[in-house]
Amino acid sequence: MNPQTSDKDRVYIFDTTLRDGEQSPGATMTLDEKLQIAEQLDDMGVDIIEAGFPIASNGDFDAVVAIAKRAKNSVIAGLARAITADIDRAGEAVRHAKRGRIHTFVSTSPIHLAHQMNKTQEEVLEIVTRTVTQARNLIDDVEWSAMDATRTSIDFLARCTEAAIKAGATTINLPDTVGYSTPEDYGDMFRQIIEMVPGSDKVIFSTHCHDDLGMSVANSLAGVKAGARQVECTINGLGERAGNAALEEIVMAIRTRHDAMPYFTEIEATHLSRVSKTVAAASNFPVQFNKAIVGKNAFAHESGIHQDGMLKNAQTYEIMTPESVGIKETTLVMGKHSGRHAFKDKLRDLGYELGDNQFQEAFQRFKDLADRKKHIYDDDIIALVDDEMGSGSDRITLKDMKVVSKTGGEHVCDMVLDVDGQDVSVSVSGTGSVDAIFNAIKEAVGDDPHLVIYGVDAVTGGTDAQANAHVRLEMNSRIVSGRAAEPDTLVASARAYLNAYNRLLMERGASAQGAMAG
Ligand code: KIV
Ligand code: ZN
């Protein structure tokens, strides 16, 4: 903690990567991935982790329970609509945490009231009082959110906020649900509400901003300047549509510009790079190269003038160091003679604690990789382990594949898949190698999901680099992503497609999901 600051300047970080972030179409994560992310957020000092939306599906409920049971320091929050069953379910899930929170929300804007809820303002006020009271009867820590607060009249927002505080809410969140606000407007809203509402000094006000106009971080910080002391954000800015305010940007802006924003968070910023990579891999949303703080190019100085300045004094062009956010030079790690101990130490160094089975699998894959690739770097190990964690529970796996391609000729894929323990063999052609592979999988599983995105990039340099393949599929209005890392681009592509298809098969309740909001 900065010695010049006092508790009134502390900004609590509420991470919603596992809830709002996972709502992003295609970002569905497995339980193992969610547990891994939650553990890293907890270790990094995140104050509140919104672990999911327990009523949405049994999978969501189980994930919130599992995260709640393991969390060491973070408060674990579960989201609930203003519906009795939602609030009960959220309470049931978070009661396993050392410190749990129910986060309940209702829309307050005229457009939502008229077209989505078909309710009057008086009815909404009654709902706020009833649902916050219900939540408070289950747990002491209750957050209430006014969905679409930024398009709600100040007077009605003040009445709702007052009702929520009177009913026992301890945190009041005023979201910019549709990413419409500007920093001036967002700050003014907090200033007015804090001034108008009796009891506002007894609660913590929270920001929650979406990035539709690219202003989510600026808006969140304007909210803090106006008195909010909790910021809701996600790693890599993952989230509905254009995403949420990026946690790493909020934390580093407050830290780097302490002169302009005299606040502090308890986040250990050196963990940021690692958590960003884990979330990118689990959600299959790669981080854009020029993304602030965690992008590959965020600290790269290409132009001659910049390089010259950097060599003379890093501060000429660098306002924060790569080390301060945990970016390390990718190092040469090991080769085929490296043993189990060295591999385990390396995993620990990279932030992984694997169970026995997962460790054995990862070690075997490392050995196979080392037989095929001379130099193995940190990034190779990260890709390999993330791949292992993301595909552990796949029902359908690739057993064997042969692709024959000919310039101007036919491309044929012979493939054997293990489908729930049974071998299924097919031989299918396509307009290119990848087309033949994807056609073969579709034929073998008897389904035809729409291919939304297919991409490949290299994990490191060199022609023997591992290929990281990403596939996004859509079927029955569900969008999922898959990934795989392999030295062979075609095998990586096949496994990424299968990884996505396996996620389509994962149980997930669509009904409650449809009612979720940004
Ligand atoms: O954007 C939003 O309004 C939300 C609420 C559920 C808090 O995500
Ligand atoms: Zn949201």
Q: What's the pLDDT tens digit per position in 13-61?
A: 999 999 999 988 888 888 888 999 999 999 999 999 999 999 999 999 9
Q: Is the dihedral of CA 20, 23, 27, 30 positive or negative?
A: positive
Residue scoring higher pLDDT (459 or 75): 75
My answer on whether 369 and 308 are in the same domain is yes
518 Cβ inside 6 Å of ligand 1: yes
Give the closest residue (by CA) to ligand 1 atom 8.
518
Which CATH number belongs to the domain containing residue 356 in this structure?
1.10.238
| Whole-number Cα distances in Å, 405 to 38, 84, 426 | 44, 59, 17
208: which strand partners? Answer: 175, 232
pLDDT of residue 479: 83
Nearest CA to ligand 1 atom 4: 518
Residue 292 lies in a domain: no
Band the pLDDT of 307: cuts 50, 70, 90.
Answer: low
494 shares a domain with 406: yes
Same domain, 337 and 241: no
Q: Can you tell me the mean pLDDT for 320-333? A: 80
Is the CB of 175 within 6 Å of ligand 1? yes
* pLDDT of 488 over the 60 cut: yes
Does residue 290 lie in a domain region? no
State in Å: Cα 179 to ligand 2 middle.
9
131 CA to centre of ligand 2 in angstroms: 20
Best mutation site among 111, 180, 208 for ligand 1 pocket (most ligand atoms within 8 Å of CB): 208
pLDDT at 347 > cutoff 70: yes
Q: What is the pLDDT of residue 509?
A: 36
Q: Is 512's pLDDT higher than 60?
A: no
Q: Name the residue with the closest Cα to ligand 1, atom 6.
A: 517
Same domain assignment for residues 367 and 403: no
Residue 376: what pLDDT? Answer: 84
The CB of 147 under 6 Å from ligand 1? The reply is yes
Residues 137-176 have pLDDT tens digits of 999 999 999 999 999 999 999 999 999 999 999 999 999 9
Across 476-504, average pLDDT: 91
- The letter for the amino acid at 441 is I
Cβ(242)–Cβ(214) below 8 Å: yes
Segment 74-102 mean pLDDT: 98
Mean pLDDT of the chain: 91
Asked if residue 420 and residue 383 are part of one domain, the reply reads no
Res 333 pLDDT > 50: yes
CB of 334 closer than 6 angstroms to any ligand 1 atom: no
In the chain, % of residues over pLDDT 70 = 93
Ligand 2 centre to CA of 244 (Å) is 7
Q: What is the CATH number of the domain that holds 186?
A: 3.20.20.70
Q: What is the pLDDT of residue 516?
A: 45
Choosing from 283, 315, 350, the residue where a domain stops is 283
Q: H-helix or E-strand containing 66?
A: helix 58-70
How close is the Cα of 209 to the center of ligand 2, in Å? Answer: 7
Mean pLDDT for the stretch of residues 209-215: 98
pLDDT at residue number 338:
82
pLDDT at 248 over 90: yes
Same-domain status, 229 and 117: yes
Overall average pLDDT of the 439-446 stretch = 96
Is any ligand 1 atom within 6 A of the Cβ of residue 145?
Answer: yes
Q: Are residues 381 and 257 in the same domain?
A: no
Q: Is 289 a member of any domain?
A: no
Cα 158-162-166 angle, rounded to 5 deg: 175
Ligand 1: residue whose CA is nearest its atom 7: 145
- Asked if the structure places residue 296 within a domain, the reply is no
Q: Is the CB of 177 under 6 A from ligand 1?
A: yes
CB of 20 shorter than 6 A to ligand 1: yes
pLDDT band of residue 227 (cuts 50, 70, 90) is: very high
Considering the domain architecture, whether residues 253 and 189 belong to the same structural domain is answered as yes
**Distance between Cα 233 and ligand 1 center (Å):** 11
Among 373, 389, 405, the domain-final residue is: 389
Residues 268 and 312 in one domain: no
How would residue 228 be classed by pLDDT, with cut points 50, 70 and 90? very high
Exposure b/e, 456-495, CB count within 10 A at least 16 = b: eeebbeeeebbbbbbbbbbeeebbbbbbbbbbebbbbbbb
Distance (angstroms) between ligand 2 centre and the Cα of 148 equals 9
Residue 440 within any structural domain of the chain? yes
Residue after which a domain boundary falls, among 325, 354, 389? 389
**In CATH, what number is assigned to the domain containing residue 500?**
3.30.160.270
65 lines ligand 1 (CB under 6 A): no
- Please check the confidence at residue 286 and state whether its pLDDT lies above 90: no
Determine the structural domain holding residue 481 and report its residue range.
396-517
Question: So what's the pLDDT on residue 457?
Answer: 86
What distance in Å separates the CA atoms of residue 361 and residue 356, rounded to the nearest whole number?
Answer: 9
| Number of compact structural domains in the chain | 3
Least confident of 150-159, 269-278, 349-358: 349-358
Residue 401 lies in a domain: yes
Return the ligand 1 atom nearest residue 147 CA. 3
Looking at the structure, do residues 275 and 360 belong to the same domain, yes or no? no
Is the CB of 517 inside a 6 Å radius of any atom of ligand 1? yes
Atom of ligand 1 nearest to the CA of 177: 1
Q: Alpha-carbon distance 56 to 443, whole Å? A: 32
**Cβ atoms 26, 480 nearer than 8 A:** yes
Does 48 share its domain with 111? Answer: yes
Task: Based on the fold, state whether residues 104 and 158 are members of the same structural domain.
Answer: yes
Phi/psi-derived region of residue 22, left when phi > 0, alpha when psi is between -120 and 50, beta in every other case: alpha
